Amino acid sequence: MEKAIKRAIKMRFQTKIAHGDHTESYEFTTRGELYHKGNNDYLRFEESLSETDTVQTTMKWNGRELMLIRQGVILMRQAFVSGEKTVGRYVTPEASWETTATTDKVFVQWPSGKQKGSIQLSYQFALQGQDTGVHQVRLTLEEDTTK
């Protein structure tokens, strides 16, 4: 079995959610790691939700499907496939909800050499059948050479 070679990554995570005439945006920067295992590429990073709550986030890409896996105070599993509706799950300490994502676009380009990479997602999201709007997610990735 081949050992996965991990590369340190600096990333900027941006989200815009449009729901009716209301738009929410947030962004953060963090560090993570990128590695290849089997037929999949993985991006792992930690999200800080508050002073004490963090979530370990993994994005798994097989060339067609981008799987989002969040573990910590929030548990979430959601697949994104261009042109398809997928079912997932969102779990907090208080409740568990079914999620659906109707994905318009999935674009994944990993950083190589001096080039930056990016992940772009656009999808209609619903939590327990309730529409939460159109989500646009953009991650800008670049190899972290400061180690």
Domain 7-142 has CATH 3.30.9.10: no
- Tokens 């001096």 identify what position? 114
> How many angstroms separate the Cα of 84 from the Cα of each of 29, 57, 74, 80, 119?
29, 22, 25, 8, 18
Per-residue pLDDT at 49 exceeds 80? no
Q: What is the mean pLDDT of residues 3-14?
A: 87
Per-residue pLDDT at 16 exceeds 70? yes
Per-residue model confidence (pLDDT) at position 2: 55
The count of other CB atoms within 10 Å of the CB of residue 88 is 19
**63/78 Cα distance (integer angstroms):** 16
> Residue type for 144, please?
D
Per-residue pLDDT at 1 exceeds 60? no
**128/121 Cα distance (integer angstroms):** 21
Round the average pLDDT of the chain to a whole number and report it.
92
**89/23 Cα distance (integer angstroms):** 24
Q: What is the mean pLDDT of residues 70-88?
A: 96
112-124 pLDDT per residue, tens: 777 789 999 999 9
Per-residue pLDDT at 70 exceeds 90? yes
Q: 48 pLDDT band (50/70/90 cuts)?
A: confident
85-113 pLDDT per residue, tens: 999 999 999 999 999 999 999 999 988 77
